[in-house]
Amino acid sequence: MNMKKFLIAASVLFFATTQVNAKEVWDNNLRTNFLNHSAIIYAVNLRNFNAQDLNNNGIIDFDENEESGNFLNAIARLDELQANGITAIHLLPVTPVGKVKALGTAGSLYAAAGFDSLNPQLKSDKTMLTIEEQAKKFINEAHERGIAVIVDVPACGSYDLYLQRPELFVKDKSGQPVIPADWNDVRLFDSGNETAINKDVFNVYREFVDFVMDLGVDGIRVDVAHSKPAKFWKELIDYSRQRDREFLWLAESSDSWKDSVSPYTVFTPYDKLLAAGFDGYYGSYFDMKNWKTSRELMNRVNADLNLEKKIGEPKSVIGSFTTHDELSPVLVNGKKYSKMIMWLNATLPVNSYFVDGFDTGDKYIYGWANKKARKTFTDDDTYFVHRGKIDIFNFSAKPGAKDLELQKEFKQANEMKRYVDTLYKSGHFKFLKTSNPSVFAYVVSGNKNTVLVIGNMNFRAIADVAVSIPRFDENVEVIPIIFESAPISKKGKMIIELQPGEIQVYQMSRFQI
Tell me the sheet residues that pair with 456.
439
Q: What is the pLDDT of residue 6?
A: 40
Strand order from edge to edge, sheet including 503-509: 428-431, 439-446, 449-456, 503-509, 477-482
Q: What is the mean pLDDT of the chain?
A: 93
Q: What is the pLDDT of residue 486?
A: 86
Q: What is the pLDDT of residue 475?
A: 87
Q: Is the pTM of this model over 0.85?
A: yes
Residue spans of alpha helices (H) in 145-293: 159-164, 199-215, 230-241, 270-275
Kindly list the structural domains of the chain, giving each domain's residue range(s) and its CATH number in brackets, ordered by start: 41-157+190-425 (3.20.20.80), 427-509 (2.60.40.1180)
Burial 135-165 (b: 16+ CB within 10 A, else e): bbebbebbbebbbbbbbbbbbbbbbbbbeee
**What's the average model confidence in pLDDT over 426-431?**
92
In the chain, % of residues over pLDDT 90: 89
Angle between helix 199-215 and 131-144 (nearest 10): 60
Which of the four pLDDT bands, split at 50, 70 and 90, describes residue 24?
low
Selection from 10-14, 15-19, 236-240 with the highest mean pLDDT? 236-240
Q: Is it the case that residue 240 has pLDDT exceeding 50?
A: yes
**What's the average model confidence in pLDDT over 404-416?**
97
**What's the average model confidence in pLDDT over 172-198?**
96
Angle between helix 230-241 and 199-215 (nearest 10): 30
Q: What is the pLDDT of residue 513?
A: 84
Classified as helix, coil or strand, 169 is strand
Q: What is the pLDDT of residues 111-169, one digit of tens each?
A: 999 999 999 999 999 999 999 999 999 999 999 999 999 999 999 999 999 999 999 99
**What's the average model confidence in pLDDT over 174-202?**
96
Which of the four pLDDT bands, split at 50, 70 and 90, describes residue 69?
very high
Q: Is it the case that residue 402 has pLDDT exceeding 80?
A: yes
Q: Is it the case that residue 9 has pLDDT exceeding 60?
A: no
Classified as helix, coil or strand, 456 is strand
Residue 444 phi, psi (nearest 5): -115, 120
Q: What is the pLDDT of residue 401?
A: 87
Residue 307 phi, psi (nearest 5): -60, -45
Classified as helix, coil or strand, 120 is helix
Closest by CA position to 197, among listed 169, 243, 175, 230: 230
Q: Is it the case that residue 357 has pLDDT exceeding 90?
A: yes
Q: For residue 314, with 0-12 CB atoms within 10 Å meaning exposed, 13-18 middle and 19 or more buried, which class applies?
A: middle
Q: What is the pLDDT of residue 389?
A: 97
Which of the four pLDDT bands, split at 50, 70 and 90, describes residue 426?
confident
Q: What is the pLDDT of residues 287-304, one digit of tens each?
A: 999 998 999 999 999 999
